[in-house]
């Protein structure tokens, strides 16, 4: 998929660059991003809104993978940016991302984070709870500037998970104002009375790695049923309705995602129907895809090391990374596909289980992966690691985080340096008695 192909050496090539050459040049484990594929995904979201004649913002949910270069790429493609912490916001500002297209999320934003966002003039704050309304009032009361634009995050009682969604009457989630229990009306009331906050609209997010459109449609319908009531009760109709992210991608053959355009069409159709029934003007529709923009654009390269055979049971093949660079299999039993990047054309028909190098039995990346007969120093390419891979990487066992490269049009570019051992102790301080003058 994307720009991946097999070159005449029988090596996996991405973005016109031989992955074996990448492994030699930058070392492994290495995150490789197919930039052309990210651009294609970004454009297809934007274009599908344009085709339907709807004003929209597509905000990249940066938690999926954030770095200065990544944010610059998102800015080049004209998308907006969803950040959820001071750190993501700092990275965005440092990358030169226009603050007016940044949306700040989070269920426990600190005073400092809110102040930072307001000082930079972010496009909106997605308000999660009553305490946050108080904090924004408190922080903005001395600034004479314009009102703070906010979306209120609601929990619509729709929870989508892959092919299913469940609806719960009394939604139980740490995020947002209850849509069905009167909380959101209380929030709307206090925000509409506020001198320092402008109620731009409503936000909801129903889950992640969703394949079906029904959950999105139902959430939109529930929100618009309420909008009808709010119009009567508060004379309020939202300028923006943000329906979150969560569009699924194909990790393995079991996954059957729809093209981005399908989700957008269904969502927009549902909103258009509601809007015309109510006789209100069409709000801007915002979405926040993370995984579907970067997930399948990322591939991780590992070097194969030791092996262990458990007679008659299984063969373990160890790689030079694991749950320190990709915690998803350990955390969510996430499944991945992979090939031997240096021998892609050989028959992949001997199932082995790929073990990480962390001191933990649960550090298994892929069970029963068919590969050719493997040797030390072979390069394993694990696909679809672009979302929540590097961003959830950690230093367990004091393993340095890997490097990240972008590839496009036959060229590679280092965008995140590999951590060094020195980096690992940069914040460590010696025991008092060992400090010498
Ligand atoms: N908007 C909000 C409010 C969210 O909470 C999320 C994801 C997104 C957008 C983006 O969702 P996406 O399009 O990427 O599915 N670490 C987990 C995923 C956690 C998702 C959290 N929120 C994983 O590795 O699967």
Which atom of ligand 1 is least distant from the CA of 203?
3
For ligand 1, atom 24, which residue shows the shortest CA distance? 388
Q: Please state at what angle helix 214-234 crosses helix 260-278, rounded to 10 degrees.
A: 30
d(CA 300, CA 387): 11
Count of CB atoms situated within 10 Å of the CB of 368: 10
Q: For residue 387, tell me if it sits in a domain.
A: yes
Same domain, 26 and 39: no
The CB of 245 under 6 Å from ligand 1? The reply is yes
For position 13, which CATH number holds? 2.40.37.10
403, 325 Cβ separation under 8 angstroms = no
Kindly state whether residue 54 falls inside one of the protein's structural domains: yes
Residue numbers in the chain where pLDDT is lower than 50: none
Q: Are residues 285 and 348 in the same domain?
A: no
Return the active site residues.
359
Q: Ligand 1: does its nearest atom lie under 6 Å from the Cβ of 291?
A: yes
Q: Whose CA is nearest to atom 6 of ligand 1?
A: 245
Rounded Cα distance between 91 and 83, Å, is 9
Nearest to 261 by CA among 273, 278, 247: 247
| Cα–Cα separations (whole angstroms), residue 193 to 51, 186, 233, 252 | 38, 11, 14, 50
For ligand 1, say whether the CB of 61 is within 6 Å of any of its atoms: yes
The CB of 290 under 6 Å from ligand 1? The reply is yes
207 Cα to the center of ligand 1, angstroms: 7
Q: Which residue has the tokens 């008695």?
A: 433
Give SS3 for 83: strand
Q: Mutate which of 246, 331, 384 to test ligand 1's pocket (most atoms within 8 Å of Cβ)?
A: 246
How far apart are the CA of 85 and the centre of ligand 1, in A?
14
Give the pLDDT score at 169.
59
Q: What are the residues whose beta carbons fall under 8 Å from the beta carbon of 67, sequence distance 6 or more?
A: 91, 390, 404, 415, 416
pLDDT digits (tens, 9 = 90+) for 177-201: 999 999 999 999 999 999 999 999 9
40 with 25, same domain: the answer is: no
What's the CA-to-centroid distance between 24 and ligand 1, angstroms? Answer: 33
Q: Is residue 19 part of a domain?
A: yes
Residue 104 in tokens: 């700040």
Residue 389 belongs to a domain: yes
Query: Does 256 fall in a domain?
Result: yes
pLDDT at residue 161 in the model: 78
pLDDT for residue 436: 66
Q: Tokens 């109510």 correspond to what residue? A: 278
Residue 98 belongs to some domain of the structure: yes
Tell whether 432 is covered by a domain.
no
Question: What is the SS3 assignment for 306-353?
Answer: EEEEECCCEEEEEECCCCCCCCHHHHHCCCCCEEECCCCCCCCCEEEE
- Indicate if 164 and 249 belong to the same structural domain: yes
- Establish whether residue 207 lines the binding site of ligand 1, counting it when its CB lies within 6 angstroms of any ligand atom: no
Q: Does 104 share its domain with 237? A: yes
Q: Considering 273, 292, 311, which residue would you say is the last residue of a domain? A: 292
Pocket lining: 205 vs ligand 1, CB cutoff 6 Å? yes
Residue 295 Cα: closest atom of ligand 1: 14
Say yes or no: 172 and 209 in one domain: yes
Cis geometry, peptide bond prior to residue 29 (ω within 30 degrees of 0): yes
pLDDT in tens, 249-291: 999 999 999 988 899 999 999 999 999 998 899 999 999 999 9
Computed from CA positions of residues 260, 16, 348, 355, in that sequence, does the dihedral angle turn out positive or negative? negative
**Residue ending a domain, choose from 262, 292, 322:** 292
CATH number of the domain enclosing 210: 3.20.20.10
Exposure class string for 382-395: b at 16+ Cβ within 10 A, else e: bbbbbbbbbbbbee
Looking at the structure, do residues 10 and 98 belong to the same domain, yes or no? no
Decide: 81 in ligand 1 pocket, CB within 6 A.
no
Distance (Å, rounded) from C-alpha 338 to C-alpha 353?
A: 11
Which residues contribute to the annotated binding site for pyridoxal 5'-phosphate? Answer: 246, 288-291, 388
Domain final position from 292, 310, 342: 292
CA of 63 to the centre of ligand 1 (A): 7
Q: Which atom of ligand 1 is nearest to the CA of 208?
A: 15
Structural domain of residue 101, as residue ranges?
35-292
What is the token pair recorded at 108?
A: 């426990």
Please tell me the distance from the alpha carbon of residue 297 to that of residue 55, in angstroms, as a whole number: 27
Distance 364 CA to ligand 1 centre (A): 23
State how far the alpha carbon of 410 is from the alpha carbons of 19, 22, 170, 407, in Å: 11, 11, 53, 7
Report field, pTM of the whole predicted structure over 0.95: yes
Q: Which atom of ligand 1 has the smallest separation from the CA of 247? A: 13
Same domain membership, residue 302 and residue 283? no
d(CA 25, CA 285): 43
Q: How many domains does the chain have?
A: 2
Which of left, alpha, beta for 101 (phi over 0: left; psi -120 to 50: alpha)? Answer: alpha
């Amino acid at each position: 998929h994307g720009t991946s192909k097999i070159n005449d050496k029988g090596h996996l090539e991405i973005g016109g660059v031989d992955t074996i050459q990448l492994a030699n040049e930058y070392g492994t484990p290495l995150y490789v991003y197919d930039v052309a594929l990210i651009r294609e995904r970004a454009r297809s979201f934007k274009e599908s809104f344009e085709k339907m004649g709807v004003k929209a913002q597509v905000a990249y949910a940066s938690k999926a993978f954030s770095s200065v270069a990544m944010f610059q790429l998102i800015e080049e493609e004209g998308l907006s940016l969803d950040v959820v912490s001071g750190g993501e916001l700092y990275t965005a500002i440092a990358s030169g991302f226009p603050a007016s297209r940044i949306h700040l999320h989070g269920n426990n934003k600190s005073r400092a984070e809110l102040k930072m966002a307001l000082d930079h003039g972010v496009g909106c704050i997605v308000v999660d709870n009553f305490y946050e309304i108080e904090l924004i009032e408190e922080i903005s009361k001395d600034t004479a500037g314009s009102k703070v634009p906010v979306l209120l995050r609601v929990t619509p009682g729709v929870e989508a998970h892959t092919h299913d969604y469940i609806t719960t009457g009394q939604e139980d989630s740490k995020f947002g104002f209850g849509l069905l229990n009167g909380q959101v009306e209380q929030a709307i009331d206090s925000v509409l009375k506020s001198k320092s906050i402008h109620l731009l609209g409503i936000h909801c997010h129903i889950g992640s790695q969703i394949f079906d459109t029904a959950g999105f449609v139902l959430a939109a319908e529930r929100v618009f049923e309420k909008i009808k009531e709010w119009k009567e009760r508060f004379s309020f109709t939202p300028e923006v309705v943000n329906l979150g992210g969560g569009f699924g991608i194909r990790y393995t053959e079991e996954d059957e995602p729809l093209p981005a355009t399908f989700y957008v069409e269904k969502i927009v159709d549902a909103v258009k129907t509601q809007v015309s029934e109510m006789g209100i003007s069409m709000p801007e529709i915002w979405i926040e895809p993370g995984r579907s923009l970067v997930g399948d654009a990322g591939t991780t390269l590992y070097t194969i090391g030791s092996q262990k055979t458990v007679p008659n049971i299984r063969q373990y093949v160890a790689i030079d990374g694991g749950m320190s660079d990709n915690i998803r299999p350990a955390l969510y039993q996430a499944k991945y596909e992979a090939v031997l990047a240096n021998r892609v054309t050989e028959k992949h028909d001997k199932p082995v289980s790929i073990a990480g190098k962390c001191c933990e039995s649960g550090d298994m990346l892929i069970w029963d992966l068919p590969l050719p007969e493997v040797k030390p120093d072979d390069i394993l390419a694990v696909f679809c690691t672009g979302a929540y891979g590097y961003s959830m990487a950690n230093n367990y066992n004091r393993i340095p985080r890997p490097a990240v490269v972008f590839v496009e049009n036959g060229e590679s570019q280092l965008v995140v340096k590999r951590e060094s051992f020195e980096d690992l102790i940069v914040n460590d301080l010696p025991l008092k008695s060992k400090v010498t003058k």
